[in-house]
Every structure is written in structure tokens, then in C-alpha cells.
Amino acid sequence: MYKNGSPITVSDSRFRRPPVSISTDKESTLNPPFIWTASRSRIKEKFSNHYAVFTDGSKLEEKVAAAAYFPEHPDRLKAARLRDGASVFSAELEGIALALTEIRKLSKYHKNFVIYSDSLSALQAIQSKNFKVIDIRRPYNLIRKFPPYVHISFVWIPAHVGIRGNENVDKLAKAALNRASCSGKLICYSDLKPKINSYINSVWQKNWNAEGANKLHEVLPNLGEDLHRRGDGGGRKQETAMCRLRVGHTWLTQSYLLKNEEQPFCYACDSLYTVRHILIECPDFQDTRRKYFSVTDLYRLFREVNPSRIAGYLKDLGVYGKI
């Protein structure tokens, strides 16, 4: 990776040979096609005596695959389908591992190699030497088996900007998605976290759906949804009031519990005093309510109505300070 014009080299006592450098331009994230066009000749000149390899990973729904493409020897096509559920990150690193496996054979004839990848995260993981990321151990284990005279560079390139080698390896990885068999490589435990989270959330949602009588269910039927709306100019006090209204616990409606008193009744219509009654139900507040909103349920109220209008309605009733 280039930073201020100087290459950063991955070095570690366990992996001193061969030296591994990761080259990219930080500005390339701003306008990848333009930056690549401007730096293409410079990169090609720098690595003109290197044997080039392109790697890529692909995912479609649950199917995942990786590939490595060798422009000088198109017949050396390396591709593998990973087990279903693996991440794109794992696929990108597997593509690099496929390239390194083949490079080991080619090292009898070549000394300098350059691996082009459009996955900056994969290259940064290799550069970081963070071995808690289990997927980078395989590339590193392959690297340290190379003879000391072999030099491998990693270069980040933007995706889908007409780079022939990158387009070819992308097609190769996508084609591997349809393979009937998968490689024997096990899925990294971190790749299973989304599935685990999804399962836990589905069980949680199923249990919550059974709580239809809970007053909070109308406000938040779908778990995980963020109802906090900021930036409307209401300030911290208004945010606190909206939070209490969503939960259904306000001083106005719940203070009787602390005082050990009977539950209060609405002063206008003599119904039980609840947040829902004040905001939606009370017929005596209907004319005032229409000036601020017209929704008839709490679900739409907290999603469609600006919090400032809800606060204005409560101020008009003279109860905002008691929320």
C-alpha cells in the first residue's frame, strides 16, 4: 500500500521471506475509473517484470465461489465453490489462496509475482497481520513456504472499470457458483454470525408476535426498528418525551403507581388515562388533535408524524410538562 509515496511492507519474524507489499492509491476510492486510467501506465511499468495474477470472489444468495486468473497462461484457471453461507470476504481471501497455490508451482520459472485484487478489505487484512481473522492464516501459511528469492506484491484495482484480467476472473468466479460440489474448506466461524443472528432474531420476533396484547406491540411490532427521529429541532427534552410516549410510561399516566393511588381517569371523558387514550382515543380532544395530525393508531403516529407536531398537540392540551 502506498502512503505518502512510500511503500508499506508487510514484515513479521515468522514471515520475513518473501517480502510482501500491498500497493494502491488512497485517492482511488474517490473516482476509481479516473484514478485507474491515470495510474494504469505507472502500475504496469512498476510491475512490468512481474508475473500477473487476478483474483476475485463472488456470492449469489447462499452460493459463494472464488477464482484466480493467469493472463499469461489462460489455461491455468483456478476456481472453487465454497460452502454455502461463506462471506464474500472469505471468498476474496480464498481467491488469493488459490493464486498463491498456483504461484508456488510457477516459482520454479519466475521470481516476481503481482496479485491484483478488487477487494481492499482482503488486502488490508493481509497487511494488518491480524491473525484473529482466521481466513488470512491460509494465505500467510502459503507465503512463508515460498523460497526466499520469490517476491509477491498485492495491488488493489477498482472493480468493473474494464480491466480485462479483472473482468475475466469475475466471470470465472461467477461460473464457479454453479458447480455441483464445494471445496472441503470449512466455513470460518465469523461467517456464521449473520445466520446465528438471523435465527435468534426470528425466534425473538416469533415470541414477540405472541405478545399482541402488550401495549408496546402496536408501537413496535417489528423488532429492531429504530423509531428515534433526531434532527427535527425539538431538542433533548422533546426526545425524552417521545421516548416516554413510545414506551407508554409517563408521569401523567403512571405516577399513581409511585403514589400508591388509584389509576386516574381522563378529566375530559372519564375514561382510563393512558398514553393511547390521550394521543389517539379521547373524543373530547379530537378537534385539537386534528390541528396536528389525523392518524388513528400509534404505529403510524410515531412513524409518519413529526415529533414536533406531537409535542405541539400535547402543549395545546396543557399536559406536555407532565410527560
pLDDT digits (tens, 9 = 90+) for 66-122: 999 999 888 888 999 999 989 999 999 999 999 999 999 998 888 999 999 988 888
CATH H-level superfamily of 2-194: Ribonuclease H-like superfamily/Ribonuclease H (3.30.420.10)
pLDDT given for residue 17 in this prediction? 41
180-205: per-residue pLDDT in tens? 888 777 788 888 888 899 999 999 99
Query: What was the pLDDT predicted at 229?
Result: 64
pLDDT tens-place string over residues 11-26: 343 444 444 555 555 4
pLDDT given for residue 15 in this prediction: 47
β-bridge pairing 6-7 and 63-69: unpaired
* 9-10 vs 2-3, strand pairing mode: unpaired
**Hey, where are the domains in the chain?**
2-194, 215-322
Locate 282 and state its grid cell.
Answer: 379521547
> What is residue 20's predicted lDDT score, i.e. its pLDDT?
52
Q: Are 301 and 293 in contact (CB under 8 A)?
A: yes
